[in-house]
Amino acid sequence: MKVEFYEKVWMCAAVGLLVLFLGTIVLTAANDAVHPPSHVETVDPMALANNPEFGNPAVTVHTDGSVVVSVVTTMYSFSPDPIVVPASRPVTFRVTSADVLHGFQVVGTNANAMAIPGYVSQFTVTFKKPGEYIVGCNEYCGVMHHNMVGKLIVSKESE
């Protein structure tokens, strides 16, 4: 198969571009553990009320100082609401749904995960800037989907 010289140059450059993109992704994934939330854990969505963790979802500060936020999403609210967490410390979110699919997105940050009934989404975020953030549901969940809005308060480190 004959390929013109300039097209060959372009084809090699295109390979180079894609290798550059992929290299960046694979390198940061391998070296800095930059991954999308990919936790594997199941939970009975019909029995969340009796679940020790999701029966009363809340912010828990463990003795080692780590912060864990358990969140239950339902039509059309987040629980707990508001969520209050300290600034500049790793906060681990554990999110599930009691009914249909929902999204859990903290506007203005990279905290963004699907809430899927039967599964627990888990990811860790450090909020540097204290203040109030909007928590939005970004997956269609019914006729009042747009009203499913919560609040996240990042408090100053001293507390």
Partner 1 sequence: MTGRYLLAGTHLGVSVAAFGVAAALGLLQALSLADIQFPHRSESLYYTSMTAHGVLMALVFTTFFIMGLGYVLAQENLGRITGRSIAWFAFWLSVVGSVAAATTILRGQSTVLYTFYPPLKAHPLFYIGATLLVIGSWIWGGVIVASYHSWRRDHPGEPIPLPIHGMLAAIIIWYLATAGLAIEVLAMLIPWSLGWMKTVDPLLARTYFWWFGHPLVYFWLLPAYVLWYTVLPKVAGGKLFSDSLGRVVFVMFVLLSVPVGFHHQFEDPGISAEWKLAHTVLTYSVVYPSLVTAFTIIASLEVAGRMKGAKGLFNWIGRLPWSDPFFASVALAMIAFIFGGFGGAINAAYAMNSMVHNTAWIQGHFHVTLGTTVTLTFMGATYWLLPRISGRDLRLRGLALVQPYLWIAGMVLFSTSYHIAGLRGLPRRIYSASLTGEYSQWHGLSMVAALGAVFLFASALSYVTVVAATWLAGRRIPAPAFEFASSLRPPVASIWDRFGLWTSVAVFLIIGAYAYPIIQLLSHHRYGSPPYQPF
Q: List contacts with partner 1 (CB under 8 A).
A: 1-4, 6-7, 10-11, 14-15, 17-18, 21-22, 25-26, 28-29, 34-46, 75, 99-101, 103, 105, 107-108, 110-114, 116-122, 134, 136-147, 149
Per the document, the length of the chain is 159
Min. distance of Cβ 145 from partner 1 in angstroms?
6
Distance CA(126)–CA(54), nearest Å, equals: 22
Q: Return the number of the residue (15 or 58) whose C-beta is nearest partner 1.
A: 15
Q: Are the C-beta atoms of residues 120 and 94 closer than 8 Å to each other? A: yes
Q: Return the number of the residue (67 or 119) whose C-beta is nearest partner 1.
A: 119
Distance CA(140)–CA(137), nearest Å, equals: 8
Min. distance of Cβ 135 from partner 1 in angstroms?
10
Q: Return the number of the residue (49 or 107) whose C-beta is nearest partner 1.
A: 107
Report residue 75 as tokens.
């039509």
Q: Are the C-beta atoms of residues 101 and 114 closer than 8 Å to each other? A: yes
Q: Return the number of the residue (23 or 88) whose C-beta is nearest partner 1.
A: 23
Distance CA(159)–CA(153), nearest Å, equals: 13
